[in-house]
Structure 1
Amino acid sequence: MSSPSPALAYRLEAARGVVQDAARLAMSMRPAPGGPEGKQKSAQDWLTEADGAVENFIAQRMKTLFPDDGFQGEEGGVARAGSLRWVVDPIDGTSNYARGRNRWCVSLGLLEGDEPVAGVIEAPALGEVYTALRGQGAFLNGKRIQASPVTDPASAMIEMGWSNRVPKPIFMEKIDAIMDLGAMPRSGGSGALALADVACGRLDGYIEIVINLWDVAAALPLLAEAGACVSPFLREGGLTGPATILAANPHIARALSSAVGISLD
């Protein structure tokens, strides 16, 4: 294991504190269980007051701590450029959050140029914090994690994210392919947490046809450090717009890739 860059290690520790405070803010604003609260941007795509408040909180804290670093948020777009760039999804799983459910998180990733190097994902309603730093492993609540050892697709659990930007026939084609492998399909409503689940072995794979950088930036270092296989999301356009992602444990990754027609190369 390589020695961590002191600058990157310091940034990860600082980010951990900022995300913790941001998660507390999000919890204080979380709607009570019931019908969704917030603005519906499109079918099943929600925006709550907390999305903007949490992003602004993180943006200001990171600007104070690291004024030369770039910053990109889901709600505000690319606000600052820099060779090191923070990418935040203030509430990943907003449809869950808007109904007072627990499966949502605050996600903050760090890119060095085009390479994901660190990430923090906190799911405060679940009591879980994921962290990763390039070359230093991936952790859940301080304990090292790794991808699932499952080798038989018929024993695998695969999640697929839904998006209204994906035509129904394409979505159903991929779901059919997953089921034809004998795998168990799931859908939980948070791309960042689904990818974290692949990293820690709770899932054997995750697929989303259209997903954005802020949804995956913090999870990509987790996946790399946990030994998961990931499709070339950034190379396939994920740095500048939505792209497709497949992440899986290394034992079923090729079979899943072949079945759903998403290349790992």
Structure 2
Amino acid sequence: MCDQIQEYFDYVLPLVKRSGEELLTAENYEVETKGFVYDLVTIYDRKIEEILIKKIKEKWPTHKQGNEINGINKLTDDPTWIIDPIDGTANFVRNLKITCVSIGLVIKKEQTLGIVYNPFLNELYTAIKGRGAFLNGQRITTNGQNDIAKSIFNYELSLARRPKHYELYMYRLKHLMKVIMGFRSLGCAVLGLCYVADGRLDAYQCDGLYPWDAAAGVLIVREAGGYVCDSRGKEFNLMDPNFLATSTKTLSDQFMAIERKADEERVNARNVKSEFVP
């Protein structure tokens, strides 16, 4: 199996690099929405998907694929490539260089391989399960932060715009902002995870994502020695990828203790409100 996974990696890595080169040529393109004003698609999403999907399908016709445009319903034991052609599209269309190509491989429902490439900053993150995480070929680890008061926390606040997530984000923000050192909101889920992996960030939380937002990045964090759980403290589930990723489990426990209080306050406030509704 190890040799086979290495074969997968060696074949896909040049495709990801080629996809990044395609992004560097981008100009004069139109932007579409996918149903929400903040969910954007460009012709380059489709070009990159064409590069990755077509070539992988030619090489391994029986492998399954899930991606941003076509979606994914469930995981099976079959090798499944989960692709985000441009993560951080809103950044991309504004020439903010926090955007990337991301691809993860899941085998028997386990994240096995991850590649993330930001061509604008020449940052290539890679991981194979059990072999560590790397940035441009150099091994990376989290920074080992154990103190929430000293932590820089990436919180994807743009997703609070969605009505079903608004209160969840706001109550947690109210509690966390009293404790941590500082917030960031990068607008690119995969790179947010990678920046925890290489120690630039101490923690990253996001609710309301899709499998392609986490298929590569979560593995990279774990292979860098970090800790990832469901944002409610349960085991992380790629098909429902609400996550808290931290440099250490100790830091994760500190975040979860505060957020449980925030969630309780939110639920209690909602119950009180309902009592006064005729």
- Using structure 1 for the length normalisation, give the TM-score: 0.88
Q: Would you say 1:102 and 2:101 are equivalent positions?
A: no
Which structure has more strand as a fraction of its residues? Answer: 1
**Aligned 1:72-111 pairs, distance under 5 A:** 72-78=66-72, 83-111=78-106
Tell me which protein shows more helix as a share of its residues: 2
Q: Does 1:192 align with 2:186?
A: no
In the alignment, which residue of structure 1 is the partner of 2:268?
A: none
The equivalent residue for 2:224 is 226
Q: What is the match of residue 252 of structure 2?
A: 253
| Range with greater deviation from structure 2 (170-179 or 95-104) | 170-179
1:261 and 1:146 map into 2 onto residues whose CA distance is 28
Matched, 1:13 2:17: no
Are the structure 2 counterparts of residues 133 and 126 from structure 1 closer, same or farther at C-alpha, using a change threshold of 3 Å?
same
1:92/1:227 CA distance change after superposition, 3 Å: same
**SS of structure 2 residue aligned to 1:197:** helix
**Percent of residue pairs identical:** 27
Which residues of structure 1 form unaligned runs of 5+?
Answer: none
Q: 2:95 is matched by which residue type in structure 1?
A: G
Q: Deviations over 1:31-77 (max 9, x none)?
A: 69xxxx51233232211111111112110011122222211111122
Aligned to 2:148: 153
TM-score by length of 2: 0.84
Residue 131 of structure 2 corresponds to 136
Shift of 1:232: 4.1
**Once the 2 structures are TM-superposed, how far is the Cα of residue 167 of structure 1 from its aligned partner?**
3.4
1:135-160 per-residue CA deviation (whole Å, 9 max, x = no partner) reads 11000011111112222212110101
Per the alignment, residue 29 of structure 1 pairs with 26
Q: Which has the larger radius of gyration?
A: 2
* Alpha carbons of structure 1 residues 100 and 247: separation in structure 2 relative to 1, 3 Å: same
SS of structure 2 residue aligned to 1:180:
coil
Structure 1 contact 92–215 (Cα < 8 Å) conserved: yes
Q: Is the Cα–Cα contact under 8 Å of residues 230 and 248 in structure 1 kept in the other structure?
A: yes
Unaligned ranges ≥5, structure 2: 262-278
User: What CA RMSD, in Å, does the superposition of the two structures yield over aligned residues?
Assistant: 2.3
Of 206, 209, 220, the residue aligned with 2:207 is: 209
